[in-house]
Chains A and B, each alone.
Chain A
Amino acid sequence: MSDTLHIQHGVASHGHSGEPHVHHHKETFISKYIFSMDHKMIAKQFLVTGIIWAIIGGLFSVLFRLQLGFPDQSFPILETFFGRWAEGGKIKPEFYYALTTMHGTVLIFFVLTAGLSGTFANLLIPLQVGARDMASPFMNMLSYWMFFAASIVMLSSLFTQTGPAAGGWTVYPPLSALGLASQGSKSGMDLWIIAMTLFVASQLLGGLNYISTILNMRTKGMSMTRLPLTIWALLFTAILGVLSFPVLLSGLVLLMFDRHLGTSFYLSDIFVAGQALPNEGGSAILYQHLFWFLGHPEVYIIIMPTMGLASEILAINSRKPIFGYMAMIASLMAICVLAFLVWAHHMFVTGMNPFLGSVFVLLTLLIAIPSAIKVFNWITTIWRGNIRFTPGMLFAIGFVSIFISGGLTGIFLGNSTIDIHLHDTMFVIAHFHIVMGVSAFFGMFAGIYHWFPKMFGRYMNNTLGYIHFWVTIVCAYLIFWPMHYQGFAGMPRRYLDKSSWVSFGQFHSLDAMITVVTIIVFAVQLMFVFNYFYSMYKGRRVRTQNPWDATTLEWTTPIHPGHGNWDGEIPEVHRWAYDYGKDGRDFIPQTEPVGENESSH
Chain B
Amino acid sequence: MNTSIVSEQQHRKLHPHKFALWVAIASILMMFAGLTSAFIVKSNQAGWRTFVLPGIFWVSTVLILASSLTMLMAIKAFKSRGMRQYRGLLGITFLLGAAFVICQVIGFNQLWNSNVQFKGASGAGQFFYAIAGLHAVHVIGGVIALLVIFLKSIAGKTKSYDAVPVEVMGMYWHFVDLLWLYLMIFFIILG
Contact = CB atoms under 8 A, between A and B. Distances in A.
Interface in A239-274: 242-247, 249-251, 253-254, 257, 261-265, 268
B54 to A, nearest CB: 19
A278 B122 CA distance: 10
Given A253-B130, A281-B122, A290 B38 contact: yes
Contact of A243 (B30, B35, B120): B30
**Main SS class of interface, B:** helix
A216 B45 contact: no
Given A250-B34, A263-B126, A564-B4, A280 B47 contact: yes
Contacts of B129: 257
A21 B10 CA distance: 18
Interface string B44-71: 0111110000000000000000000000
Nearest to A204: B27
Contacts of B15: 216
Contact of B34 (A135, A208, A247): A247
A286 B16 contact: no
B134 interface: yes
Contact of A212 (B20, B47, B119): B20
B17 interface: yes
B121 A290 contact: no
Contacts of B126: 257, 263-265
A137 interface: yes
A281 B1 contact: no
Contact of A280 (B14, B34, B121): B121
A420 interface: no
Interface in A104-138: 132-133, 135-137
Contacts of B41: 283, 286, 289
B76 interface: no
B19 A212 contact: yes
B23 A281 contact: no
A215 interface: yes
Interface in B57-108: none
A247 B47 CA distance: 25
A570 interface: yes
A88 interface: no
Given A217-B10, A254-B38, A264-B121, A209 B31 contact: no
B30 A247 contact: yes
Contacts of B23: 207-208, 211-212, 242
A216 B119 contact: no
A213 interface: yes
Contacts of A283: 41-42, 45
A209 B30 CA distance: 18
Nearest to A244: B30
B189 interface: no
Contact of B24 (A137, A204, A249): A204
A331 interface: no
A257 B20 contact: no
Contacts of A215: 19
26 contacts: A25-B1, A37-B1, A133-B1, A139-B20, A204-B24, A207-B23, A208-B20, A209-B20, A216-B13, A216-B14, A216-B15, A216-B19, A242-B26, A242-B30, A246-B27, A247-B31, A250-B31, A250-B35, A254-B130, A262-B118, A265-B42, A265-B122, A279-B122, A280-B122, A289-B38, A293-B34
Given A211-B23, A250-B34, 7 more contacts: A208-B20, A212-B20, A243-B27, A253-B130, A265-B127, A265-B130, A281-B122
